[in-house]
Amino acid sequence: MRRVVLDTETTGLNPDLGHRVIEIGAVEVVNRRVTGRTFHTYLNPEREIDAGAVEVHGLTRDFLADKPRFPDVRAEFLDFIAEAELVIHNAPFDVGFLNAELRRLERDDDLRRYCREVLDTLKMAKDLHPGQKNNLDALCRRYEVDNSGRAYHGALLDAQLLAEVYLAMTRGQDSLAIESFLTPPPRARQGAVQAALRVLPASAAELAEHQAYLEGMARECGQVPSW
């Protein structure tokens, strides 16, 4: 199972008003392990950045002036997320912005054409913790994920934190508990497990009492119990 935990930073809140993506960060998780593979880029938005947005992520137009534009990184980005399940906090926001970037280059393009599915961890958190704060900082505190280095929002840092939060939120959900009974213990532990088991046979008195109980049931039912 390959997942990509993803986050973006933007010039504002609404792509329909011409706001743009200015940072993409993504972290690969395979079989519930962070692999160390990441995708990260800053982007030149070719427009002003709302003051409120700068207060959140600290990215200015001057800093982004020499950074690549989205068309320059499109192929590499789509290759990184290809066939993966995307894990995004407040997915409609990020997907909406990324779709706006894709559709500037190709009308009717859609992020979901390239990934397997999109999982919204904000919705998941609200289902798990109704009535509580479920932003990334709150989830880091709840699941004891260290976010002490998060002075500003940053796409790659937030994706790394979200990967840890997601794994904590979903711990134990990828396998059925019954598997622990069906799967033999590792060979090195089998002897210890077997040695720990004690067999307590029934005593003669207990066997006689059980037989008398069965005979009583047979008389009441008019037939011998099948077991």
| Enzyme catalytic residues | 153
- pTM for the model stands at 0.75
2-169 folds as Nucleotidyltransferase; domain 5 (3.30.420)
Alpha helices per DSSP H over the chain: 51-57, 61-64, 70-81, 91-105, 121-128, 136-142, 155-169, 179-182, 187-196, 204-221
Residue by residue, pLDDT tens for the chain (227 residues) are: 999 999 999 999 999 999 999 999 999 999 999 999 999 999 999 999 999 999 999 999 999 999 999 999 999 999 999 999 999 999 999 999 999 999 999 999 999 999 999 999 999 999 999 999 999 999 999 999 999 888 788 999 999 999 999 999 999 764 443 333 333 444 444 444 444 445 567 777 667 666 776 676 666 556 655 55
Position 3 scores a pLDDT of 98
- Please state the domain extents for the chain: 2-169, 184-221
Q: For residues 48 and 59, what is the distance between their CA atoms, to the nearest angstrom?
A: 11
Q: Please state the φ and ψ torsions of residue 4, each to the nearest 5 degrees.
A: -125, 120
Pair of tokens at residue 19: 């706001």
